[in-house]
Amino acid sequence: MLSAIKDLGELVIHREEKDDLDIFVEDPNATGNYTQVITINIEQNGETLRFVGVELEDYDSQKKMRYLYRRGSANGPDLSPTAKISGKPAGTFERKILGWFRILEDTDISLEERDKVFLEDIQTILTENADGIKERIVNFRESIPKKEGLLVTLKIYHEGKSKYVGDFPVIIDLFLKQIRKKDERFAVQQQVCSLCGNKKETILGNINTYAFYTIDKPGYIIGNFDKKKAWRNFPVCADCKLNLEEGKKHVEQNLNFRFCGIKYNLVPKFIIGYEGISSEVIDIFTNTSKLISLKQKRIESITGDEEDILTELKDIQDTVTLNFLFIQKMNAAERIHLVIEDVFPSRLRKIFASKYYTDNIYARSFTFRTLRSFFFKSDKNKRNTDLDKYFLDIIDRVFKGRPVSYHFILKFIMMKIRGEFVNDGYFNFAVTDGLMTIAFLKKLELFEMEVEKMEERVFSEMFAKYGPTFETPLKRGLFLLGSLTEMLLRKQYSEREAKPFINNLKSLKMNERDFKGLLPKVQNKLEEYNSFDKGKRLIAKEAANYLLVSGSNWRMSVDEMNFYFAAGMNLIEEVANIVYPDKKAMEESL
* 261 neighbors 250 (Cβ within 8 angstroms): no
pLDDT tens for each residue of 245-291: 899 889 988 898 888 988 899 999 988 777 767 788 888 888 777 67
Q: Is 380 exposed, middle or buried (0-12, 13-18, 19+ CB in 10 A)?
A: exposed
The whole model's pTM is what? Answer: 0.83
E-strand ranges in 129-239 read: 149-158, 161-164, 188-192, 199-204, 236-237
Q: Do residues 174 and 184 make contact, with C-beta atoms less than 8 angstroms apart?
A: no
Please check whether residue 255 is in contact with residue 213, taking contact to mean a CB–CB distance below 8 angstroms.
Answer: no
For 155, the 3-state DSSP assignment is strand
Helix (H, G, I), strand (E, B) or coil at 322: strand
Q: At what angle do helices 512-528 and 534-549 cross, to 10 degrees?
A: 160
- Residues 369-392 pLDDT 10s: 999 999 998 888 888 888 999 999
End-to-end Cα distance, the chain: 57
Of residues 281 and 98, more confidence is placed in 98
DSSP state of 320: E
Which are the contacts of 412, defined by CB distance < 8 A and separation ≥ 6? 374, 375, 387, 390
Q: How confident is the model at residue 170 (pLDDT cuts 50, 70, 90)?
A: very high
Q: Is the per-residue pLDDT at 33 higher than 80? A: yes
Report whether pLDDT(243) > 80. Answer: yes
Percentage of the chain modeled with pLDDT above 70: 92
pLDDT at residue 215 greater than cutoff 90: no
- Interstrand relation of 48-58 and 34-45 (parallel, antiparallel or unpaired): antiparallel
pLDDT at 213 (0 to 100): 47
Q: Which one, of 297, 266, 294, 259, lies nearest residue 280 by Cα?
A: 294
pLDDT of residue 308: 78
Q: What is the mean pLDDT of the chain?
A: 89
Banded pLDDT at 404 (limits 50, 70, 90): very high
DSSP structure class, residue 44: E
pLDDT winner (highest mean) among 11-15, 262-266, 442-446? 442-446
- Residue 59 is predicted with a pLDDT of 95
Residue 458 predicted with pLDDT over 70: yes
Mean pLDDT of 347-358: 95
Provide the angle, in degrees to the nearest 10, between the axes of the packed helices 279-286 and 288-296.
80
The predicted structure's pLDDT at residue 352: 94
In sequence order, which residues have a C-beta less than 8 Å from that of residue 231 and are 6 or more positions away? 186, 187, 188, 191, 203, 204, 205, 206
* Each residue's pLDDT tens digit, 284-309: 888 777 677 766 665 677 887 777 78
Give the model's pLDDT for residue 69: 96
Q: Is the pLDDT at 224 greater than 60, yes or no?
A: no
Question: So what's the pLDDT on residue 335?
Answer: 75
Residue of 445 and 308 predicted with greater confidence: 445
Highest mean pLDDT among 233-242, 325-334, 415-424: 415-424
Phi-psi region of 121 (alpha: psi -120 to 50; beta: other; left: phi over 0): alpha
293 versus 112: which is more confidently predicted? 112
* Dihedral sign computed on CA atoms, order 334, 340, 342, 346: negative
Beta carbons within 8 Å of 25's beta carbon, 6+ residues apart:
64, 65, 68, 69, 70, 166
pLDDT greater at residue 410 or residue 309 = 410
CA 521/CA 501 separation, integer angstroms:
9
SS3 state of residue 167:
helix
Average pLDDT over residues 123-146: 94
CA distance 347 to 320: 12
